[in-house]
Amino acid sequence: MKKLYSLIILFSFFLASSQNNLIANLNELNYKGNINPLNLIKYKNKIYFSGFRGDKNGGNELWSYDPEDNSAEIIKNFQIFQESGSRIKSNFVLYNDQMYFIATNTFPLVNQLWVTDGTSAGTKFVSNLNASSTIYDNLLKIVVTGNKLFFRIQSTLWSSDGTEDGTHRIGDFNTYSDSSFTETDGKILFMSYDYDANYNGKDNLYKTDGTAEGTSVVRSFERDNTSYGNNKMIAYQGKTYFVGAENGKKYLWKTDGSIDGTEKIKEVETRILSNAKIFGNKIIFNGENNKVWSSDGTIENTKVITQIQDNITGMHLYKNEIYVDTDKNMVKIGSDLQTVSQVSFDAENTFYKILNVSTEGNYLILQKEQLMYYKDPILAFDGQVTKEMKYPVHFFSEINFNDNNAYPFLEFGTKIFYNGYFDDQGNELFSYEFSNQEEELTVDLNYETDSAPFNYLTIGKDDYFMARTNSYYQIVKRNQDTKITTIVSDFQDNNFFPDKKLAVGNHYITYSTSFWFYKSSGTKESSAVIKIPTGTIMGLYKFNDQNIAITTRNEYNVQLYKYDLASNHFTLLAEKPRNTSIYNYDGNAALINNELYFTFFDDSSHLSIWKTDGTVAGTKKAIDFPFFNLQYLRILGEVNSKVIFNISDGSYNQYNLYAGTENNTAATLLRQLTTPLNDNPIIYKDRLYFLTMGSSAATSLYATDGSTSGTVFIKSIGYDLSQQTDPFRKCNNLLYFKPFYNSIWKTDGTALGTRSLTSISSYGLACANDYIYTVRETSDGIPKTLVRLNSAGVSSFSFQVNKDNMFYSKGDGAAHLSELYGNGKELYVSNIMEHYSGLEQSIISEGLEPWLSVNDENHINKERILVYPNPSSDFINIKLDSTEKLIKVEILDLSGKLILHLEKPDTKIKVNSLSVGNYMIKVTTESGVKSSKFIKY
């Protein structure tokens, strides 16, 4: 017996949770969510970007990603008060070894200049910029020019030296968000436009020192009444170049920022300096009629170098050549500015346009001009070959990347980092290695879409359930031995929400009153959504391990189908006219000697019980009620080869219980009842147990063995309107039931052995290690506490949710529980992770004690040691009797590996060096060895 106790002690030690603390391991199933990383920038050997996780999970945030250890962290959250306008609003620029950007972090909303050194503590507010901020201010552009920051918010221009005192409002100007700022001869230049009283427009060339007082017009130019302004300038060899109109003609100009130093070069055929680039010792730009110009600042060398046949949509410099996008194809201008050739990237001459140029200029990123599908590949081109990229974000409309590149392809080391999209993850940060085409998700930062698992069912060693693993609900299985979770379906649509489930052989089937049902035998090949031939499902029943029977109804008739799970074939076995005024006839079925008994209508549209052997000829009426005009007929199930059912002709308080046999078309009255029965009875100890329910009489527990004498009233349970639809659970040779929301009972089948265990408000019943568990509701109505029930009373358990050795606190909603399911050894709970990702699945595998007799429990309690505080992050205390002397302490992980060994230690043990997790502590004293379990967090 001592050996038996030792085994029990050892086993319970690994499973027991000291002082009722449990760890629930988060089983993340749905990674769908868009962090949408924007404005990627390399800074201090990390990548910084803005990312969005939704209001409840943090909103718009500044993130950093470390490619070396593949980790990411939030630097600063910029979405307070759950305001959609509160966010990071601009690109990031490096200035004086720090990173600057515009964000909003106040209420009422105000645009602000912020600075960071890459750390949370070093991310600081610099200055308020204006008194209003809207979502339309998004993606503002900051530039560094002349050792100052310049940016535009709505119509206001600002400058800053990076300090609050040095941040100045220059004034209101009619500029565009992509207006150019250039530095020439110590002056900052920009272009604005105005209209006089007669709506005559003019373009004004301004110079500024970054203050309102130091801002003035250098020169004005004519402007026609077009809707676009002259906002493009480019600095080249100490001068600023732009296009300005004079005497009705358009000229290329250059300026040093003074009136006298503003010179006209040559008449050009363009209103603005489109796609201007510095190429060698020349300026390249395109004008009207798709002409490409070059200029070195002299009259004689300002000329058209080529005219493209098709309409130019963009120009890009790449490896000493000019790539020109058009609306028909792509052409390339050689380094000599004379050679022009059409560019082809594949044998089919597919028309690609340039989506972007990587930040270091080593790759062109190409996208099909005519996107037919968002999964069409993106190409990376290194000047020699193109290689496919699977996951970059596609754009179905033109986006100007030249001036405000919120979606860069950032080169870092040998990889390209970018904003990518994958069905199961959404918009996240991806990386791509050009040499071997290795493309992967770096870290999944936003999976706020919850999985909301439900409809659990155990088949053999596999636990099946439905969960939202992307945009749609999928069938998921988890093996109890390997602990591996597998998504076994790939449904692309969900037309219904199934609320019933059924095991048929090795098939998991889930359905509802709809046109469809799901099925799977554990592989994606076997998983399918099946549409029934007609009508909606009334009932779906197991016929044998390969076939199910389905009763359906349409507007006028009811049908019985047999469905073969292997061949996916429907066979119509019967069709009868229905009585459209009767609805209370769906329910359970009974399988007796390979014949299925079910509720159906006959040729006269009367309710009756039918049976089928799976053939048309063998489908016939089994039990008739010729003298009753039934309005209610529900089969409860089968016991002792008898079908048990409940009928009513609509008379007040008449719901009689009957039994029928396979060889008798008449039925035997078992008992007259006054209230309807619960829909989910259960077989226990060769009897069918059920509850009556109703508002006019007390809910009562009954059992029947199929005979009149064996149909007994067990106990009156009481009055309550919160009857539960699935009340029964078998656990450790006992039957537990939850008749009401605030009541849990157990029964051994006798009146004396039927008693209330608790009157707490709770949710669900689940069995694990022969104990019954429920989820207790708190005063605020949120299910939070796991409760275990036994003969000794109610034990409450607090627990923490663990993911990758990180614990989520109650502040993260980790203790809020919903769905509860037990597979006999483990518990599945759903956590309302309010600040994490919604309703998620957690699995409690450790700390669920095995059922022990009272004597066993008393013996084991003597062999345990008390450690506190538990859980702990720094130290634990060992409580001993005053007469005991501590000899040795050993700390082991749950695999049995020795982690810490102490000889003659103090009773206060430091554990701060341990990794987060569960541990066993063995304490050797003069009286023997004692043990316990503790949690390090």
**Structural domain 865-936, CATH architecture:** Sandwich (2.60)
pLDDT confidence bin for 164, thresholds 50/70/90: very high
pLDDT at 247 over 80: yes
Compute the average pLDDT of residues 686-701.
Answer: 87
pLDDT at 228 over 60: no
pLDDT confidence bin for 645, thresholds 50/70/90: very high
Burial group, residue 398, by CB count within 10 angstroms (0-12, 13-18, 19+): exposed
Report the distance separating Cα 665 and Cα 645, nearest Å: 14
The alpha carbon of residue 741 and the mean position of all alpha carbons in its chain are separated, in whole angstroms, by 31
- For residues 152 and 926, the model is more confident at 152
pLDDT confidence bin for 856, thresholds 50/70/90: very low
Average pLDDT, the chain: 84
Q: Where are the beta strands (DSSP E) in 444-554?
A: 454-459, 462-468, 473-479, 485-487, 500-504, 507-511, 516-520, 528-531, 536-544, 547-553
pLDDT given for residue 59 in this prediction: 67
- Number of helices (H), then strands (E), belonging to the chain: the values are 2, 80
Render 672-690 in DSSP notation, one character per residue. --SSPBPS--EEETTEEEE
| Least confident piece of the model among 202-206, 699-703, 777-781 | 777-781
CATH 2.60.220 fits 172-307, yes or no: no
pLDDT in tens, 319-334: 999 999 998 889 999 9
Q: What is the dihedral of CA 475, 537, 683, 681, to 10 degrees?
A: 110
pLDDT given for residue 230 in this prediction: 64
Q: Which of 160, 157, 146 is nearest to 101 (CA)?
A: 160
Kind of pairing between the strands at 817-822 and 728-731: unpaired
pLDDT confidence bin for 22, thresholds 50/70/90: confident
Both tokens of residue 892? 């082991």
pLDDT in tens, 388-424: 998 887 664 444 444 446 789 999 999 999 998 877 7
Compute the average pLDDT of residues 454-468.
Answer: 95
Domain ranges across the chain: 172-307, 562-674, 865-936
pLDDT in tens, 105-114: 766 678 899 9
pLDDT in tens, 118-142: 999 999 999 998 755 555 554 578 8
pLDDT in tens, 47-102: 999 988 765 556 678 999 999 988 889 899 876 555 555 578 888 999 999 999 99
pLDDT in tens, 299-318: 999 999 999 999 998 999 99
* Within this chain, domains 172-307 and 865-936 share the same CATH topology: no
Q: What percent of the chain clears pLDDT 90, i.e. is strictly above it?
A: 47
Compute the average pLDDT of residues 928-935.
Answer: 80
Whether the Cβ atoms of residue 923 and residue 901 lie closer than 8 Å to each other? no
pLDDT at 764 over 80: yes
The alpha carbon of residue 439 and the mean position of all alpha carbons in its chain are separated, in whole angstroms, by 22
Handedness of CA 119, 124, 126, 130 (dihedral sign): positive
Whether the Cβ atoms of residue 719 and residue 710 lie closer than 8 Å to each other? no
Compute the average pLDDT of residues 328-354.
Answer: 90
Report the distance separating Cα 223 and Cα 625, nearest Å: 94
Burial group, residue 556, by CB count within 10 angstroms (0-12, 13-18, 19+): exposed
